[in-house]
Each structure stands twice: as structure tokens, then as C-alpha cells.
Structure 1
């Protein structure tokens, strides 16, 4: 009987310890209001984060900015807990990653947009394209549709009705000029621009090549109310955390808006 009683007490003690540990884990999942780590890609996102970091420091909030040079690692790091948040991706890219990799993320708020443009070293207007010319678009699922849609909006091609965001050149329904559409790694297109009559280039890569959407593109997405805003992303459990709301105030402040407008000359625009 004593052995049974001891066993029951041991079991109860174990349950209590587990319960306390679980409570502790639950509390630890709330993001700190004193220090937070944000993942970004190099370039504008990093520059903006550094400005936000300065603002936060005045209020006693330390922001660690971790910079990445690819589009996949920041989400992996966020899922693994190495980051508290990230800011670098569009909603279609985020949704694709969540579906493919099972991430449990939430959008906290919109930040900026990078309007995609069409660039050329040989023509000044897409109306000057000739039969059989080569054009280039990014080959990744989240950006190829944007590139094809740009050429469609300009009246160069027509996509199949009801085409989805993961469209490729195989989804072109009409191509009156019989253009050769080349799918390339987005980062490689600026360096190979001379090989094409025109190419759709992501703004971050265009900026890296010294190209400005307002001064150099021959066609581009809407600058105002751009349909592809970048978003500040957190794990779902942290969406309503106090520090996330504080960060939104910084990112959406007049000071940051003015910085974006002054620094990027329309190639990056506020999406709030």
C-alpha cells in the first residue's frame, strides 16, 4: 500500500512539474519588449530596419538586425526561433512558403513595396519590340507571374484566363510577335540585360545594378497602391504581442515614411 501511495505522489509531482514547465514555456513565447531580433535581406530592408533600430533605441528597445542574402533562410530562421520576426517578402511568396513548408506564421503589418519594372538597353518603348525578340522574366514562382503580367499589362502578350500566381511562360495564350520568353534567376537578369530586347527586373536587383524605376524603366507596376506589398512577419503566437504593435508604430511613422521617400526615389515606396 505504501508503495502504491508513493507511486501516486510521484505521479502527481511529475504532473505538477510538467504543468509548471508548460506554463513557463508559454510565458517565454511572448516576445520581449526590451530586445528583439529581426531578419531582413540586404539593401532597402536592411537600411529601413537600421533607421527603425535608431528610433527604438531612444525608447529603450534594442533591435538586432540580422541580414540574409537569400529568400529562404529568413523564414527557416523564424520558424526555428533564431529570429523573432522578419521583413523581406511579398504575400504570395509567404503563402507559397507556408504551403510548401508548413510554417505557422502571421502577417503583422505591411511595410514597403518594390514596384517591378521592365528595362532595356536597346529600346525606349515596348511598342518598339520586333518579331522574334527575346524578353526575360524571373524564373521563381513568386516573381515570374509579376514579370509576365507586366508584359501583359503593356499589351505585349496575353495570359490564359484565370491564370494563377505560379504562372510560367507556358501559360501565355497570345504572343503576336512570337517573342522568345526566357526564364532566368532574378539576380542574373541585370547582368544579362544586353542579351534581351527587354527584361522584367525585381527592383532590389535593379537598384543593385544602378537602375532606377523612375529614371530607367520603360514600363513598371503601379507605384501607388502597388499590389505586392512586403510584409512584417512573425510566428502566429506572437502576432498580438506588445512589441509587435510598437514596431508597427515605428515602421508606419512619418519619420520612416519620409526616409523611404527621400532615400529610394520611388524604387521603394511606403505600403501603409
Structure 2
């Protein structure tokens, strides 16, 4: 899932055909005329969502389902095509974005399954260990509301600051209640944070920007969000469906496969901690 504010982006044409109607009640005919395979159409972002779905295809085939994935490069159409019934599900977003989209657009989408999260991590800058923190050190964080709050919560979880009670996922620098090291929080556009590692003691990055900067979350992060953290639970990426379809057999099988040990292993090996299967 990308940033929470992405719902403001204008829709861009999807990659792939958008015709047809809801497909989980239809059969896909083989070359022999057989209609034993049920089709599931899923709209997805390219990375990592579509890549994970591609890995799931043979597993779903064994269950009797033909998973058809269409990649979209915007955050509007994947929800619209599911709400309209053209697609059975999408995989690209977290629940807060979906709920805001429902509110803004009048759609009726629900969470059918929690699949993965992309953790924030604290990475070395001019210092290589959190134990080296000193009075007046600078730490760079993203400046947009959602990502800054996650960064501050991670700093709090690691004992560097303490936030006001109740600040949670809306926290800003104004909510810092205790700052024993007089840390200066440097607020930057998310894509710029990784560029100041030579200027600040530490930087706080989300998974995709860490990958772009050449970091391995598992090897390089000094600390990162745990699966039971408030942020991970809130911003877990989901399978979203139209309300009423969450209990269909096809969707249940899709979620079961995406939460299987085989897919968890694929996620762990391919993304090296930048994407983590949600337990």
C-alpha cells in the first residue's frame, strides 16, 4: 500500500482490459470445453501485490480457481472496478485508505483478509547504532501525516522519545511529550529522507523507500515495526471486496492461499523484510 493520501490522485488508465462483470460465479472454459475452473478477477498494484498474486496462481489452480490479475497504476480504479462488480477483489491498499475511499466515493468495500505489511525501519545515518544517540542528534522522518506518525511511534517504541497519551496514528512532532536526548526531528518529503544519511544520525524509512535506497530491512534496519505494533495492525494490506462477497467460497480460498505457508515463504525470501506476511 502506498501512502494514505494517495486517494487524492487522479485515476490513470489501468494496464489490461476492464470489460466484463463479476466473475466468481462463472466458469472458465478450457480448450476441451471443460468448465471445471472458476475465475477470480483481482485488481492489484504491481509491486508487491501483483507479484504475490502471480505466485499464488498455481496454488489456486490446485483448488480449482483461475486467478486473473490486472495491474493498475493508480489508487482509484481498483476500488471502482470492484464496487461495480467488474472485478471480484483488489489487493493494493490498507483499511484506512479503503474506509476513506468509501466515505468520499460512496462505495461499499470491505476487508476480506489481512495479508502483509510494509514495515517502517530506523536506518543508520552518521551513526551506526541506536546506543550512540547523543544530545541534539538529528533524525530524519517523512513529513506527511500518516508516515510521520508511524515514524514517531517507531522512535517511541525504541525509547528515543515519548508521545502524548492518545497521539497514536495522528501523531506529529507537536505530540512529543518527552525528548530526553533533545533530538531534532527533521521532517522531509518521504522520497528525500534516504538522501540525508550523511547529514543526520538516523533516518526512518518505509519498506519501499528502503529498497530503493539499497537497504535490506532485515540486514540494515536498526529497528523496524513488529507485526503486533499499532501501525502494522492498522496499515496491513488487505484483500478488499464488495460488501456481501467477503464470505463467498472463491474469496475465502483466495485469502487462505495468500496466507498459506508457501506464500509466506515467498514473501520472506523475495522481499528480505521490506514486505512481511501479517500473522
Are 2:169 and 1:150 equivalent residues in the alignment?
Answer: no
The Cα of 1:194 is off from its aligned counterpart by: 3.2
* Corresponding residue of 2:66: 61
Task: Give 1:1-272 correspondences, 5 Å limit.
Answer: 31-33=24-26, 34-57=38-61, 59-68=64-73, 71=75, 74-76=78-80, 78-79=82-83, 83-223=87-227, 226-227=232-233, 228-272=235-279
* Corresponding residue of 2:11: none
Contact 1:37 1:66 in 2 (8 A): no
If each structure's helix is expressed as a fraction of its own residues, which one has the higher value?
A: 1
Give unpaired runs (5+ residues) of structure 2.
1-20, 27-37
Distance in 1 (alpha carbons) for counterparts of 2:277 and 2:189: 26
Q: TM-score, normalised by structure 1?
A: 0.76
The Cα of 1:218 is off from its aligned counterpart by: 1.2
Distance in 2 (alpha carbons) for counterparts of 1:182 and 1:122: 14
The Cα of 1:103 is off from its aligned counterpart by: 3.6
Q: CA RMSD in A?
A: 2.8
The Cα of 1:144 is off from its aligned counterpart by: 2.1
Q: TM-score, normalised by structure 2?
A: 0.74
Larger radius of gyration: 1
